[in-house]
Amino acid sequence: MQMPEPDGGVLARKARIVALLRAILPPDAVIDAPEELRAYECDALTAYRCPPLAAVLPRSTAEVSAVLRTCWEEGVPVVPRGSGTSLAGGAMPTADSVILGVARMNAVLETDYENRFIRVQSGRTNLSVSGAVEAEGFFYAPDPSSQLACAIAGNIAMNSGGAHCLKYGVTTNNLLGVTLVQMDGTVVTLGGPWGEPCGIDLLGVVCGSEGQLGVVTEACLRILPKPEGARPVLVGFNSNEVAGACVADVIRAGILPVAIEFMDRPCIRATEAFAKAGYPDCEALLIIEVEGSEAEIGEQLSRIRQIAMAHDPVEFREAADEDQARRIWLGRKSAFGAMGQINDYMCLDGTIPVSSLPHVLKRIGEMSRDFGLDVGNVFHAGDGNMHPLILFDANKPGDLERCEAFGAEILKLCVEVGGCLTGEHGVGIEKRDLMAVQFTGPDMEAQMRVKDVFDPKWLLNPAKVFPLAASAPRRTG
């Protein structure tokens, strides 16, 4: 993975830049010792590492503004960082950049149950937002699997999804407003708790812009009343086609499960060996979860059973109690860990039209043989968001490169069948150079123009999202 050459001028001015940052922040908020900077050398895409020039941990919007203004005046790139859980390298620094971490800004600023919103500082973790409103019977819906650790700032930057977005939508559908600091230090308020945009929807384009338009310091989030209950069923099939047809029938019937998860045979076998959840040994497995009162859950599950039975499943298992529900989810939730037991893995997240599922899985199987690397598939089936896990050995020379080449082929296939490169992890550096597969030059140009407006000097997270060659004239301009 290529990164731009660091700016020698910036590297040479490290002492001056650190001194300027120390002048505007408390002493403990500026990190420049090499051993401490190692903590910021990568995010969850650990294959690539580079310590930053410095890291800062501001505690307020005013401090963030002062940092950005200083870096803007000095021409220093800034890489915003939430909790560093990006799988796409969204928070990966360059040697000439300052990491701006929002982790210390984690306060709840306001909860309003009657108007159904919460306002938080952006370093607050996803799960602790729900935690703050749980006692009143509310929750924050987007639930990325890293929700224990990941920060709202990163969720907004990547427009994070989760297993339950089939019903509740992703971050952008639950984000009401932000306080955004632009690279030159300007503080802007976008949106508000009333939700309805006024004029051009700037909030909509900020969400998912991967920290390239500004640093979000505060967020106003929609909270929802918790459903009375939830219950999963597990359905096993001996063919991916039939499992896919069952998903389509459930959706067409007007039942809106909160989640429909799909696992293929390699993944089922790996998780069985690891977690012993008691899954049937079959070609494809669905976990379908519905919500509501006991009676409503019963009504939906009986309809789902009716639909599934028409497809002659190997097994249809309803959870009779909490423990059985937990066991149904156990294998799915252990899938990544199980694959990790076997070997290193790379997880992709391209999205495909649900109807292409059998074709795509067949092609991935063929590619797996061609590349000589095993792959297991977990899949948010209701919305077509795939998660192929490619196994490789990081200690074996050439394996990572082979794995990346395989991954790129899978993502190209996703685009070819009408889907996209990334459904929830973001482009970051990982998929940056594949953008031209999905977009024409003018398509990317239109997106880069937005950054030109928010960050004319291209100092915020500049080496991400767009192919380096495409962004070069702007970055080096």
Segment 85-144, which members bind another protein (CB under 8 A)? Answer: 112-116, 137
Sole binder of another protein in the list 443, 473, 476, 477 (CB under 8 A): 443
For 253, 284, 336, 357, 476, the CA distances from 280, given in Å and listed in that order, are: 26, 9, 19, 21, 56
352 near another protein, judged by CB under 8 A: yes
Tell me the three state secondary structure of residue 391: strand
Q: Which stretch binds another protein (CB under 8 A): 17-25, 70-78, 204-212, 335-343?
A: 204-212
Most distant CA atoms of the chain, gap in Å: 71
Q: Which stretch binds another protein (CB under 8 A): 70-78, 340-348, 349-357, 367-375?
A: 349-357
CB 259 within 8 A of CB 287: yes
Residue placing its CB nearer to another protein in the complex, 140 or 279? 140
Cβ contacts of 325 within 8 Å, gap of 6 or more: 230, 231, 232, 319
Least distance CB 242 / another protein (angstroms): 14
Sole binder of another protein in the list 380, 387, 392, 407 (CB under 8 A): 380
74 near another protein, judged by CB under 8 A: no
Q: Which stretch binds another protein (CB under 8 A): 7-15, 222-230, 270-278, 468-476?
A: 222-230
Question: Torsion-angle region of residue 210: left (phi > 0), alpha (psi -120 to 50) or beta?
Answer: left
Angle at 340 between CA 338 and CA 342, to 5 degrees: 80
Sole binder of another protein in the list 131, 169, 358, 365 (CB under 8 A): 169
Tell me the three state secondary structure of residue 110: strand
Alpha carbon distance 90, 43 (integer Å): 8
Sole binder of another protein in the list 23, 148, 194, 469 (CB under 8 A): 194
Start-end of H helices in 311-467: 322-342, 357-371, 399-416, 435-438, 441-454
306 near another protein, judged by CB under 8 A: no
Question: Torsion-angle region of residue 148: left (phi > 0), alpha (psi -120 to 50) or beta?
Answer: alpha
Say how many residues make up the chain: 477
CB 17 within 8 A of CB 55: no
How many residues interact with another protein (rule CB under 8 A)? 93
Residue placing its CB nearer to another protein in the complex, 252 or 369? 252
Sole binder of another protein in the list 423, 459, 460, 461 (CB under 8 A): 423
Q: Is 206 exposed, middle or buried (0-12, 13-18, 19+ CB in 10 A)?
A: buried
Q: Which 232-291 residues touch another protein, going by CB under 8 A?
A: 248-249, 251-256
190 near another protein, judged by CB under 8 A: yes
Q: Which stretch binds another protein (CB under 8 A): 277-285, 323-331, 371-379, 424-432?
A: 424-432
Least distance CB 371 / another protein (angstroms): 23
CB 54 within 8 A of CB 30: yes
Residue placing its CB nearer to another protein in the complex, 394 or 469? 469
CB 388 within 8 A of CB 338: no
Alpha carbon distance 41, 91 (integer Å): 9
Residue placing its CB nearer to another protein in the complex, 61 or 159? 159
425 near another protein, judged by CB under 8 A: yes
Cβ contacts of 35 within 8 Å, gap of 6 or more: none
Sole binder of another protein in the list 60, 106, 186, 341 (CB under 8 A): 186
Q: Which stretch binds another protein (CB under 8 A): 61-69, 304-312, 332-340, 417-425?
A: 417-425
Sole binder of another protein in the list 278, 372, 418, 473 (CB under 8 A): 418
What is the contact mask toward another protein in residues 447 to 466, using x (rule: CB under 8 A)? x-xxxxxx----------x-
422 near another protein, judged by CB under 8 A: yes
Sole binder of another protein in the list 6, 75, 131, 195 (CB under 8 A): 195
Sole binder of another protein in the list 10, 98, 335, 421 (CB under 8 A): 421
Residue placing its CB nearer to another protein in the complex, 334 or 385? 385
For 79, 80, 136, 345, the CA distances from 93, given in Å and listed in that order, are: 6, 9, 40, 22
Q: Which stretch binds another protein (CB under 8 A): 61-69, 199-207, 336-344, 389-397?
A: 199-207
Alpha carbon distance 360, 351 (integer Å): 11
311 near another protein, judged by CB under 8 A: no
Residue placing its CB nearer to another protein in the complex, 51 or 382? 382
Question: What is the CB neighbour count within 10 angstroms for residue 225?
Answer: 12
Give backbone dihedrals phi and psi of 162, rounded to 5 degrees, phi first.
Answer: 155, 180
